[in-house]
Structure 1
Amino acid sequence: MYSKGVRRVGAFNVALLGKWCWRMLVDKEGLWYRVLKARYGKEGGRLKEGGSHCSAWWRSLCRIREGIGERVGSWFENNTRRVVGDGNDTLFWHDIWVGEISLKFKFPRLFDFALNKECLVEDMRRRLGADGEGEGLWRRRLLAWEEEGVRECSVLLQNIVLQDSVHDVWRWSLDPVHGYLVREAYRFLTNYGESADGNLVDDIWHKNIPSKVSLFMWRLLRNRIPTKDNLVRRRVIHQDDATCVSGCGNAETTTHLFLGCEIFSSLWSHVWHWLGISSVFSGDLQQHFVQFTYMAGMPRYTHSFFTTIWFASIWVIWKERNYRVFQNTASDPSILIEKVKLNFFYG
């Protein structure tokens, strides 16, 4: 574990790099953006990383942009939002402008068949039309089940009210008024890190939990496990292969896999029934962990008990996901709850 002093120095350096990442978003007419664009090129609305030939400084910025920094997961991306005005400067497929993920991950099949992958929101709304057909948008005629995704895109566009006199802007959620400030980013990173470190020391490295499970949880709570969205971000797999293995049609992210997927997350209802409790938990994985392990109204000594159950449940979901990916086998949730009981690490 890092000492507190080292962590704070690291957090300050990361916050400074985050300032440059923010400038690359909001100041595309600036000198540095134009220099980097000329040297590394541009793809998907963002500057390319440049591979092994890029400078150490630019590689560090790309790592921050991709969600690495002070063990807080995708802190920069999670606090960056695209606010659509007239829709003339927001990339329909690449930017996160509606929902929590970009539409190229939500509709990977459609993105693969799109003729213009750099199209803007305003252009897409005009060309897609109210009927949802979008003639001339795709490389081939879509199948019936693929057209369902097109109609869903059409509904998204119909629910967005574009304002002709308002430009699209980036908004920093930690300070929507002033934008990115190193001071606020540093405070977020250090405060987040202190609470996360406490949980790691007290909970993840538990004497009754196998070391391989503890290591997995350490990576999980920092969004560093090889879910499909992370594999796409690292260019290990194609975007077309990023959908959840359960067949639900959504992109496989950490939050979706363990909390949002109707197949995998149904295990939690079996866990609650087994424990004889009923509750509504957060849709954020770390908050879900805290809520579950510090169950309201329960004595303090039960914290270790609920921690090991949460770890066992997460571990079973991950193993089941891998069985489906690599062995093409699937188990019913009623079987998974028995595996949770079998893998219960307590005692």
Structure 2
Amino acid sequence: MVRLDLEQSKGNMYQLHPFVWDCWAPSKVKIFVWRAIDGRIPTKSALAYRGITFSDLLCPFCSIEDEDVDHLLASYPFSVAIWEEVCRWVKIPSSSNFVDVKSILFFGNGWSSNKVKKKLLITVFFATMWSLWCNRNKKIFEGKAILIHKVLDDIKELAFLWLSIRSKISIREWSLWFGFNLDGMMY
């Protein structure tokens, strides 16, 4: 029912992005990504658009570009480094074409004709975006340092957890998941 309401409220959004709903991520993460596609994540730019004033709209990390959802999740240098590591981990081509949230999801949706592999990659992509957002918030609100290897470990753990709980895929060993050995890890 909720999906139907969302589809009707956004017109053809579901037709443009059907893969948003077809993964093993929790509902709150799916909604986060759906809102990110629409630019409705509370970044400085989005909040300023809603009338909240800031001394500047610059990204609090790089201070080069305005903080909007595409900068935060795709083009911010830290995010670019994370996407490069994620692509290396899942053994797909470089993330150099990831310029915004939509390009990331379109890439994931077209990556494989195998439905399970595609769903798996989209789940990893959702875990990546969610981890970037959560770590951004930890940095801003708690002053915690964000390190590439820690964020990458968070992504692997989240995706593994979601896959273990929400899918019928049985992963034999953590080491196979950590190495993203698709052939060896699934029954």
TM-score range, shorter chain: 0.7 to 0.9
Q: Answer yes or no: is 1:197 the counterpart of 2:14.
A: yes
Letter in 2 for 1:325: I
Q: In 2, distance between residues paired with 1:251 and 1:273?
A: 28
Q: 2:109 aligns with which of 287, 293, 307?
A: 293
Match of 2:134 among 316, 319, 340: 319
The separation in 2 between residues aligned to 1:328 and 1:217, in whole angstroms, is 25
- Could you tell me whether the CA contact under 8 Å between 1:259 and 1:285 is conserved in 2? yes
Q: 2:156 maps to what in 1? A: 341
Alpha-carbon shift at residue 3 of structure 1 (Å): 9.2
Residues 331/218 of structure 1: CA separation in 2 closer, same or farther (3 Å cut): same
The structural deviation recorded for 1:275 is: 1.2
SS at match of 2:32: helix
The residue identity in structure 1 corresponding to 2:25 is: I
d(CA) in 1 for partners of 2:158 and 2:150? 12
Number of equivalences: 158
RMSD: 2.3
**Deviations 1:114-136, CA, capped at 9 Å, x for gaps:** xxxxxxxxxxxxxxxxxxxxxxx
Instruction: Determine the C-alpha separation between the residues in 2 that align with 1:259 and 1:207.
Output: 20
One-letter code of the match for 1:216?
F
Shift of 1:256: 0.9
Q: What residue in structure 2 maps to residue 249 of structure 1? A: 64
Deviation track 1:67-125 (CA, whole Å, cap 9, x = no partner) reads xxx63xxxxxxxxxxxxxxxxxxxxxxxxxxxxxxxxxxxxxxxxxxxxxxxxxxxxxx
Q: CA deviation at 1:206?
A: 4.4
Secondary structure of 2:78's partner? coil
For residues 108-123 of structure 1, what are the structure 2 equivalents within 5 Å? none
Say if 2:45 and 2:68, in contact at 8 Å, map to a contact too.
Answer: yes
- Structure 1 stretches of at least 4 aligned residues deviating more than 4 Å after TM superposition: none
Return closer, same or farther for 1:207/1:291 CA change in 2, 3 Å cut-off.
Answer: closer
Among 294, 297, 304, the residue aligned to 2:119: 304
Offset at residue 337 of structure 1 (A): 0.6
Give 1:247 shift. Answer: 2.9
What is the CA distance between 1:284 and its match in structure 2? 3.1
**2:80 paired residue number:** 265
1:293–1:310 CA contact under 8 A, matched in 2: no
> Distance in 1 between the 2:36 and 2:155 partners?
18
Instruction: Percent identity, please.
Output: 23
**Aligned partner of residue 116 in structure 2, secondary structure:** helix
Q: Decide whether the 8 Å contact of 1:255 with 1:284 is kept in 2.
A: yes
* Structure ranking higher in helix proportion: 2
**Residue matched to 2:93:** 278
Larger radius of gyration between Structure 1 and Structure 2: 1
Per-residue Cα deviation, 1:214-256 (whole angstroms, up to 9, x for no partner):
2211211111110110111112232x24211213422101111
Alignment correspondent of 1:219? 35
Question: What's the offset of the Cα at 1:330?
Answer: 1.7
**Contact between 2:62 and 2:76, CA under 8 Å: does it hold in 1?**
no
* Closer, same or farther: CA 213–328 of 1 in aligned 2, 3 Å: same
2:175 is matched with which residue? Answer: none
- Higher mean alpha-carbon deviation, 335-344 vs 255-264, is at 255-264
Give the alignment's TM-score, normalised by structure 1. Answer: 0.42
For residues 47 and 23 of structure 2, the distance between their equivalents in structure 1, rounded to whole angstroms, comes to 31
The alpha-carbon deviation at position 287 of structure 1 amounts to 2.4
Q: Quick one: distance in 1 between partners of 2:92 and 2:138?
A: 29
Name the CA shift for 1:275/1:255 in 2 (closer, same or farther; >3 Å): same
* CA distance in 1: counterparts of 2:84 and 2:141, whole angstroms: 26
Unaligned runs of 5+ in 2: 165-187
Distance 1:281 1:207 in 2: 22
User: How far apart are the structure 1 equivalents of 2:65 and 2:23?
Assistant: 36
Q: Is 1:229–2:45 an aligned residue pair? A: yes
Q: Which residue of 2 aligns with 1:208?
A: 24
